[in-house]
Amino acid sequence: MRIGRSIGAAVIAAIAVVALAAPGLAPQDPYRSGVAMLDLPSATHWLGTDDLGRDVLSRMIYGARASLAIGIGAAAVAMLIGVPIGLVAGTMRGRVDLALVALIDLFIALPGLVLALIITVMVGANLRNLIIVLGAVMWPPIARLVRGQALAVREAVFVEAARATGGTQVWIIRHHIWPGVLPVVAAQFSISVSFAIFTSASLSFLGLGIPPPAADWGGMVRAGYDYLAINPWMSLAPGAAVSLTVMGFYVIGTSFK
């Protein structure tokens, strides 16, 4: 698993560099269309051009930005909702726990992609909304995981000691439960990022993600799908980029479990 983690970290680091340095790295303007449409890869267009004559490689480089922003943003939102709920449920036990678990069970049964589809169309697809919507559908498993961890940590002797010396619930959560839960949360964060990128790319592929002409991997795969027989790179290259990114974050996350 260690080798996997290193490879995953290297892949993600490379993609992050590409996203940050996109304006310097992209050989051409990702939004400028040209007369050379659906060209195969050549010296000027390394991955060829799309149906509007735009440089596929440049669009792919810019697409890294949207993917990373949505992935990290949505995972952060999901953590902000799921971690406190899980911590409180796991530490307090009793009626609060029962109510929160019922809430988690209600939401965990709902299919994330389907829910995201509906909400995204209602609120309108843009970067900010997608981050919020994906975060909002991804929190239940995180809450469940954190609750389970908190339940285990709260049985530790040091928590009992803190309680015996009159520590408040907030103090105990902050200083004793949270540090014990943190490693699992960190690993889960990476997995959540991969899931968010996976789902947002699927939304884009269905035509319900970030609207065109934005450079977005899922949208590019969709656009290239119709021209698979003419310039397959238009679809396969951004599809490979999504897969690599998802795989990278997933491998990093699972290697810590």
Closest CA to 145 of 98, 104, 114: 104
Which residue's CB is nearer to another protein, number 92 or number 230?
230
- 167: part of which helix (H) or strand (E)? none
The footprint of another protein on residues 165-194 (CB under 8 A) is: 194
Alpha carbon dihedral 83, 107, 192, 96, in 10-degree steps, equals: 10
Question: Does 205 engage in binding with another protein (CB under 8 A)?
Answer: yes
The stretch near another protein (CB under 8 A) out of 42-50, 87-95, 108-116, 125-133 is 108-116
Please check whether residue 173 is in contact with residue 87, taking contact to mean a CB–CB distance below 8 angstroms.
yes
Closest CA to 119 of 74, 80, 85: 74
Among 221, 223, 252, 255, binds another protein (CB under 8 A): 221
Question: Does 211 engage in binding with another protein (CB under 8 A)?
Answer: no
The stretch near another protein (CB under 8 A) out of 57-65, 150-158, 160-168, 247-255 is 247-255
Question: Does 82 engage in binding with another protein (CB under 8 A)?
Answer: no
The angle formed by the CA atoms of residues 139, 131 and 219, to the nearest 5 degrees, is: 120
Closest CA to 35 of 48, 22, 52: 52
Please check whether residue 221 is in contact with residue 60, taking contact to mean a CB–CB distance below 8 angstroms.
no
Which residue's CB is nearer to another protein, number 106 or number 182?
106
Q: Distance between CA atoms of 164 and 204, rounded to whole angstroms?
A: 53
Among 81, 152, 187, 236, binds another protein (CB under 8 A): 236
Smallest distance, another protein to C-beta of residue 198, A: 6
Please check whether residue 60 is in contact with residue 217, taking contact to mean a CB–CB distance below 8 angstroms.
yes
Among 48, 112, 209, 219, binds another protein (CB under 8 A): 112
Question: Does 239 engage in binding with another protein (CB under 8 A)?
Answer: yes
What are the φ/ψ torsions at residue 55 (nearest 5 degrees)?
Answer: -70, 120
Type of residue found at 208:
L
Question: Does 156 engage in binding with another protein (CB under 8 A)?
Answer: no
Among 218, 219, 223, 231, binds another protein (CB under 8 A): 218
Question: Does 114 engage in binding with another protein (CB under 8 A)?
Answer: yes
Per CB under 8 A, residues contacting another protein are 105-106, 109-114, 117-118, 121-122, 194, 198, 201-202, 205-208, 218, 221-222, 225, 228-229, 232, 235-236, 239-240, 242-243, 246-247, 250-251
